[in-house]
A = this chain, B = another copy of it.
């Protein structure tokens, strides 16, 4: 242990000799034009003049965030990077690049094959979000499970924050909810979810362009639903110092999922936004091919998120509390 079993990914410049750099060279070649401006101790990026920098980091860990038997390596790479991009998308930022820190098990035999499959998924994710890989790190050893920590970097002129909601704002949600939760229920029970649910779980989309449209058309606060509607609506309410009233029967439910999945399921990258003005759902659907649905409003008081069914308040499933299990 006189030296780390780890190396930063370098790119675009000549690399020194050694098998670790061979792996990086292979990743570089594999990614082609999807990996740019990597090539030094650090990577250099330009932020458009007048825009602010937006950064977020997110980890996906084997047997904590995913199971190898449920997803291919390519899907694992895709989901990990998409989750991080979703965090900056939720602020209406345009991604400028991602850095991917890969952690490989010490007893992994097919290092190159594993890396290239993960790399395919990472490529899928940055391609889908219109961005590139700008850096990373490779570490291997010990009892480490497979892990991907992604930092997404982007920029925005007018960020959509969690704290922007005010009483009277209208609440909207993109897409349809509960699909990932329904897929996970099947997988946990040892069953295969149907193809659409499986796809929904394995290939979520970060709503990059959608968030920018929403921010440009009146949205003043936003959050992605990675913790699920019940939990994330609570975050939006707490951050804004407002109450949120959401009609459960208005929540768009993904085909094959239940309303409960839609309320409490997480791993969802749809957006919940508060808008000062009414948004044009038809234009949104025409432009992005997914629904935009009005689901409630922000009210006075610090009452958190409350859910109604047929006008009556119902107890929402509690938000998931990761550290209390």
Interface residues of chain A, those whose CB is within 8 Å of chain B, are 1-8, 10, 13-20, 23, 39-47, 49, 52-65, 67, 86-88, 90-91, 93, 96-97, 99-101, 103, 106, 111, 134-137, 139-145, 147, 149, 151-154, 156, 159, 161-163, 181, 184-185, 188, 222-224, 226-228, 231, 234-235, 237-239, 241, 265-267, 304, 319-325
Contact = CB atoms under 8 A, between A and B. Distances in A.
B4 A64 contact: yes
B53 A153 contact: yes
Contact of A61 (B6, B15, B159): B6
A19 B223 CA distance: 20
Contact of A144 (B17, B39, B91, B145): B145
A40 B99 contact: no
Contacts of A58: 6, 8, 101, 137
What is the interface of chain A mostly: helix, strand, loop, or mixed? mixed
B56 A53 contact: no
Contacts of A228: 3
Given A23-B323, A144-B145, A266-B3, A53 B64 contact: no
Given A4-B226, A6-B59, 8 more contacts: A10-B235, A18-B324, A19-B324, A39-B163, A40-B162, A41-B86, A42-B152, A53-B96
Contacts of A143: 63, 143-145
Contacts of A41: 56, 86-88, 90-91, 162, 222-224
Considering residues A18, A52, A145, which has the most beta carbons from chain B within 10 angstroms of its beta carbon?
A18
Across the A-B interface, the 9 shortest Cβ-Cβ residue pairs = A42-B56, A64-B141, A63-B142, A3-B320, A18-B321, A41-B90, A57-B99, A151-B151, A41-B87
17 contacts: A2-B265, A5-B64, A5-B323, A6-B65, A13-B162, A13-B238, A16-B237, A16-B319, A17-B234, A39-B163, A40-B159, A41-B222, A42-B88, A43-B54, A44-B54, A47-B52, A140-B323
Nearest to A43: B55
B2 A266 contact: yes
A181 B1 CA distance: 10
A143 B64 CA distance: 10
Contacts of A325: 5
